[in-house]
Structure 1
Amino acid sequence: MPVNALVSGTLELAALMDESSCQLLSDNADDQARDVPVHEVWRLFRNIGDVVVLTDVERPDVRATLARESDVAQAVRLVLNSLDRGLPVGVRQMNIEALAAFLGEGETCGRVRGVFFCQPLADGADVEGAIEYCRELNCGECLAFFGDMLSYQDIIKIAWQAWLEVPDDLFGDAEERQRFLATMIRGKRFWHACRECKSSPSVGKVLLAYRLEPSPEERSLHRPDVITHWVGLLQPRHKDRLSAEGEAPAVIDEPRSKRKKERDAKHAHRLQSRRRGIHSDYEAATARVERIQKLVRAGKLAPAEKYITDLVQDQLGQGVPEMACKSLCSAAATAVEICAFDIAIRWYRQAKEVCPEDVVAKSGLAETFRAMGRFDEALTACQEACKHHPEDVVAKNALAETFRSMGRFDEALTAYQDACKHHPEDVVAKTGLAETFRSMGRFEEALSAYQDACKHHPESVFAKTGLAETFRSMGRFDEALTAYQDACKQHPESVVAKTGLAETFRSMGRFEEALSAYQDACKRHPESVVAKSGLAETFRSMGRFDEALSAYQDACKHHPESVVAKNGLAETFRSMGRFDEALSAYQDACKRHPESVVAKNGLAETFRSMGRFDEALSAYQDACKRHPESVVAKSGLAETFRSMGRFDEALTAYQDACKHHPESVVAKNGLAETFRSMGRFEEALTAYQDACKHHPEDVVAKTGLAETFRSMGRFEEALTAYQDACKRHPESVVAKNGLAETYRSMGQFEEALTAYQYAREQHPEDVVAKTGLASVLARLERFEEAKNALGGRKAVSQSDWIAKHVYGMIELKCGNTAEAKAIFSEGADKCPFRESKAYFRTGLTLANVMRQEWREVQAVLSDVPDRELSTPARVLLFEGYAAQDLQTEAMETFLQLPSTMSDLESAVANEIKSVRIDNKPKQYAASRLFEMEWQMVLDDTMNKQLAA
């Protein structure tokens, strides 16, 4: 009875489907088909790239197709292992011997050539080594195959580059292009083109063969226009190559009679054994390793350890220590994936004991130490690997990357440059060099290095995504977008490209597109915690905290090993003001991931947000001690000193961070902001100008410079600086809000209104823009519009609470004192954010001043630490004391007013002193004085929100 079927050589399975049943059939002649549910077939076949669809065929035909496809898949695996320089010599030779049987069969050999002769070899593929092993083993079929592979590379590169230049509009979409490419490979059109190039200056026969003898698959996608275009691009390049070389390079070959003799003997024996389902020791070991890896990924470490111990004992008993070492390294690398570092270290050390000279074991151990943040041990392990394997590029790259992780960028640069010099073919060394330049803030050099990597390794997705990320780091978002889109198109399987594209949208404030891109990445790569965390973070950026929380909880549930998901969950709690939960989540992350400096910094920052400064200080100091390479920890420590009003210590801490991390714009901006907080504006100006000069891509430095001009009352320069920031960083809502606020400071309220409306239009999710718009409308006494602009959103984030405070200020200005006091009282009591709580207390104090409830003024501010009193609060407290004739307390408060007061704050304070202390005539009517006080409090709120 005819059936429909899906066949996969990779899975060595066929799914048989008719109207009433669904069955799985394995590539073992003795096995019977077994019934399975449809969803099981979907789960198995959904992400497999070599699925063959058969319709209306007999079951024997399905089994024959399955045997044929399984042979091809097995041969492909053997070729890959034969080329893998990371495998022990004995294992590679074993693979070459097994491969000979498959290459002796005509159709299988042709299919394998079709796979490997269609695009340039991956970086690190050791063809020369494989050829040497073939000679040692006297293996003619494999020698001819790998010899052709080597000699055809220049032609293959020409054919592949021509294919990449075939315009997209010939296909319609990326999926159709990929489908057509798969058909081209299966039909061996690339291989035929390269073979034609080898024997003739013309490749016209390729087009003729396609038209006259299309394969069944090609008939379903019959596109001679595509082939014509491809051949048209290929032809002139091929002729240029022939002209330049004079003749085609010789093909490594053996006498045909000898090859046939070997083929007949080996092919019959090996293929017959395979049909009986007898697997080689290597195949059996591979299956056992894969089973162990599945257990590790599932977190079942105890049974995994038992199985790996049994496997290693078996392999040592068989006299193949290289395979035992490889098994241990594979299991250890999988353990690192789930952050099971202790067991990974144990397995890597066992691998070293089994094969003391194995560079993979040594480099893997070093990488594990690096992932744990144990950099000194990582360095020692890398140096040992390099000492004993001075020519090994894996060891060199591991050493360089360890230096980079330690923040020792000059040494990392030297190490990567050495790797590139001695291994010019290695793309990992090239991209590592580029990434080091990027880490140092040397973006032009990073760009150049990534472009060079892309040029020489067009197949490398890491080179493409690194280039895109460098554009993003430089604030060149349109170019980053284009580069990521190109990477996604050329590498539709890459989750790194997809998440990079989504993150670029997020950086541009294009949140809906970011959301869509992350959702697509999650759908296509359900295993990716990066995609899930990115989706959650996008929700958080949009202020959709409940959805962010849910997304992070889902990521933590499905990826319990991920510290990124745990830190994201904790940070979401912190953004929502749910500090106890944030504290608990960060403490859990620190406990389970002691290597994570992000978790430690997050814990410290949560303490700071709660006003628990001593604990924050202690936590940051611990982070600095354990992670001396972390500029974020050093900056956090400095910022905590600044929050405590210990400015000299903050200054020292930031200067230390700048000294040890001269590449860090974060440290430079922090130093400049500390100068600004101290009223040392000229030094702040110099520091921000230096940051702008050395980091022209950084929008924070530009807005900091503009804000410093505004603090100095140099409004025209502030305006120019903000306009420049808006022009160069159109994605920055901070720059737009700063521009609007500068107009407001200048009393140009209509211009401020227009600027805030534009910011709201471009960034509808931004609460600061909404609050700023409302504050300007209130200054224009358009109170109802101001209230409507704020809306009735529930206060969750810090910005939400500030918006609530501004709503109270509007009620107060409207004369609705009771309503205003109710809002301020609620905020002073319930707002979880320490800084925002202070705004509500100041608002409540102003309401009490308006009602001349002087004792209440004193009561509201009495328990506020002196360092947390804002300048407007101090001015109002001074008025409260003076109104009660408490001359001593009043003058003490007056003398403590900072020298950095704004003109408005000075005018209010001097008027109160003149009237209530010096008994001089009023300069302002009571209503005008209240209006000035109201404006003073609102300005302070907006300035601090903008600075935050």
Structure 2
Amino acid sequence: MGIRKYGFTRGLTCLIFVFILCGCASTKGIADKSGELSSEDRRKFDYFYLEAERLKAIGENDAAFDLMSRAADLDTTSAAARFFLAPYYLRMGFYEQARKDLRYAAEKYPDNYWYNVVYANFSQQSNRHDEAIRIWTRLLEQNPDKPEINSALAEAYTAKGDMKQAIACYDRMESSMGMMEPITIEKLKLYEYMGDKEAMVAVAEKLQRTFPRNTDYMRLLGDIYLEAGNDSAALSIYNKALDLEPENGYIYLSRAGYYEKRGDTIAYNNEIRNALMNRRIDVDTKLSIFSTYIVGLMKKKQELNRVDSLFTEMLEQYPQEEPVHRLFGMYLSSRKDFSRAEEQYAIAADLAPTNPENWLQLIGLYLYQEKYAEVIRVGKRAIQYVPDQKDIYMYVAVASAQTKSYDEALSMLETGLNYVEENDAGTKSFFYGQMGDVYHSAGDKEKSYEMYEKALSYNASNIPVLNNYSYFLAMEGQDLDKAERMSAQTVKAEPDNATYLDTYAWIFFKQGNYSLARIYLQNALDKTKEPSAELFEHYGDILFMLGEVDEAVTYWQKALEAGSESAELLQKKIKNKKYIEK
């Protein structure tokens, strides 16, 4: 089930000592004097040590480290000096040296609370769980009245996987401090991990008896009853909680879980609505509830009309909450109700214009529907609020290229490149590849090939670039060996991609290898359910070169019927029963 939110203090944060190594390195006094030093060396040691402490206090860490290192060289037995140096070694990445120094201090002075706490925490963070347990146990024996040590010991046992010992630690805390929310929740998590539902029930019942009018604890107990299979007890405790606090929306949510388990769809839907309409539940929690509810209904493909009405009620309650409009937009998009989805994303973008997600979703919808003018209009507006979003520049560039605004497309791509991370070679390759496509569409083939080369310099396996580059070379009859090598990479990467197979076949056609061209073009036709006019035309051209003139005419006719852009040329081919080069 997972221990859900019940409005409690999360974990035992308020009970646990969190010792940041660098902040606890002071020994709060003069260093130990256990070493056999001459009076002169002792005087130097004391000076270096105290001066290092002073420099550290004013933030002169490099000088402090240097002086304390000199002190430690004078007295190699000084636990205080080694304890001081440990966090510096840790910052420099010398973890083993730091560990040795901390362990030395803790073992030399086993009754020094600070030395041992820092070493135990270090051991725990380093996944040395047995060592952490050993030190925490020693500290607990010396300080049985400190519950934070029991808490830390419990965490060490949990990290090691010894849940029973961890629970024993929490039991000791409970005995000394009384029953407390954080302790109980931690115990429940452990019992849940162990799969001990009986123990979970016992703990939750004890908590509820101790605080009989706390509805959060009642709801927790009900959820655990439900998980343990005691459904009637779960419903009974939920109802008691609602009698005490009828406006508590979280109880409706829990009771919805009961009805869902029972298969009572009507009652489940009613409880969800009660939770969503309850003003005591914060909007983020409601959206989480709603998202789960929507996904469940969509999986079952049932009662989706309820979702629209619930959204209407939610929007009446939260007309200015951007996440509500965004969620509605996502839902409508998933149902392909694009016009209403656009409306919701537009509202969300107006409410939170610096949130790029809404702009990206809205622009993506327009692009999907090929509403290029809207992509450009909204994209330019979005850039005013989120100028660092490289994807928006890309979308606007694609739309501009589609409307033959090539200069604007290139400008967008060049600007968007400024927001690509320096080490993001893949995205840089993508941008340069798009620039290559735009230059080619604009008729600047030389600049196009320059951009393709640049794209491949960032990512030599950029498959779309390899395909487009090789295809354009083939169409122009240039550098066919290079085109064949590049196209072979695309076919190897995606052997079922009809577009890449067509490119490969066309290169063989240009090389005069018609039999091999036929094999790959036939494969391309087999791989696609709705072959394009270009595929039909290319296959006809290949068949003609192989002497199968009537079959060639048949495929040219199919290309014409499929809406080929070269209709005039195809008509000449069909009429003359002859291949004519473009």
TM-score (norm 1): 0.34
Confirm or deny that 1:720 pairs with 2:340.
Answer: yes
Q: Name the structure 1 match of 2:133.
A: 345
* Cα distance between partner residues in 2 of 1:401 and 1:738: 38
1:97-119 Cα deviation digits (max 9, x unpaired):
xxxxxxxxxxxxxxxxxxxxxxx
Query: Cα distance 1:409–1:763, how it changes in 2: closer, same or farther (>3 A)?
Result: farther
Q: Name the structure 2 match of 1:754.
A: 377
1:569-597 Cα deviation digits (max 9, x unpaired):
xxxxxxxxxxxxxxxxxxxxxxxxxxxxx
Q: 2:169 aligns with which of 369, 385, 388?
A: 385
* Cα distance between partner residues in 1 of 2:534 and 2:147: 73
Confirm or deny that 1:846 pairs with 2:475.
Answer: no
Q: Name the structure 1 match of 2:448.
A: 820
| 8 Å Cα contact 1:396-1:416 kept in structure 2 | yes
* Cα distance between partner residues in 1 of 2:505 and 2:356: 37
TM-score (norm 2): 0.51
* Cα distance between partner residues in 1 of 2:493 and 2:527: 10
Q: CA deviation at 1:891?
A: 0.6
Counterparts in 2 of 1:119-518, with a 5 A limit? 297-298=87-88, 299=90, 300-312=98-110, 328=116, 331-333=119-121, 335-336=123-124, 341=129, 343-351=131-139, 360-370=148-158, 372=159, 374=160, 376-377=161-162, 379-386=163-170, 391=175, 393=180, 395-400=183-188, 402=190, 421=208, 445=250
Counterparts in 2 of 1:460-859, with a 5 A limit? 717-728=337-348, 730=352, 732-791=355-414, 793=417, 796=422, 797=424, 798-831=426-459, 837-852=462-477, 857-859=483-485
1:351-404 Cα deviation digits (max 9, x unpaired):
46768998654432331354x5x4x32x23222334556545464343345578
* Cα distance between partner residues in 2 of 1:755 and 1:700: 17
Confirm or deny that 1:873 pairs with 2:500.
Answer: yes
Q: CA deviation at 1:415?
A: 9.3
| 8 Å Cα contact 2:502-2:521 kept in structure 1 | no
Q: Which amino acid aligns with 1:873?
A: Y
| 8 Å Cα contact 1:685-1:705 kept in structure 2 | no
1:316-352 Cα deviation digits (max 9, x unpaired):
xxxxxxxx88985565246546766554233124446
| 8 Å Cα contact 2:498-2:523 kept in structure 1 | no
Unaligned segments of structure 2, at least 5 residues: 1-26, 30-49, 61-77, 91-97, 225-248, 255-281, 315-322, 544-551, 570-582
Q: Which amino acid aligns with 1:804?
A: Y
Query: Cα distance 1:360–1:708, how it changes in 2: closer, same or farther (>3 A)?
Result: closer
| 8 Å Cα contact 1:811-1:820 kept in structure 2 | yes
Q: Which amino acid aligns with 2:166?
A: C
| 8 Å Cα contact 1:351-1:361 kept in structure 2 | yes
Unaligned segments of structure 1, at least 5 residues: 1-10, 14-33, 45-287, 316-323, 438-443, 450-469, 477-661, 672-681, 930-948
* Cα distance between partner residues in 2 of 1:851 and 1:754: 36
Q: Which amino acid aligns with 1:773?
A: V
| 8 Å Cα contact 2:116-2:135 kept in structure 1 | yes
Query: Cα distance 1:877–1:756, how it changes in 2: closer, same or farther (>3 A)?
Result: farther
Q: Which amino acid aligns with 2:187?
A: L
| 8 Å Cα contact 1:366-1:398 kept in structure 2 | no
* Cα distance between partner residues in 1 of 2:450 and 2:386: 31
Q: CA deviation at 1:782?
A: 1.7
Q: Which amino acid aligns with 2:362?
A: L
Q: Name the structure 2 match of 1:860.
A: 486
* Cα distance between partner residues in 2 of 1:816 and 1:363: 70
Q: Name the structure 2 match of 1:48.
A: none
1:431-462 Cα deviation digits (max 9, x unpaired):
xx8xx99xxxxxx849x99xxxxxxxxxxxxx
Aligned-partner SS, 1:815: coil
Q: Which amino acid aligns with 2:338?
A: A
Confirm or deny that 1:887 pairs with 2:518.
Answer: yes
| 8 Å Cα contact 1:366-1:382 kept in structure 2 | yes
Q: Which amino acid aligns with 1:788?
A: S
Aligned-partner SS, 2:489: coil
Q: Which amino acid aligns with 1:894?
A: L
* Cα distance between partner residues in 1 of 2:185 and 2:83: 25
RMSD of Structure 2 on Structure 1 (CA): 5.9
Aligned-partner SS, 1:862: helix
* Cα distance between partner residues in 1 of 2:300 and 2:505: 30
Identity %: 9
Q: Which amino acid aligns with 2:340?
A: T
1:863-884 Cα deviation digits (max 9, x unpaired):
3434477554344345445665
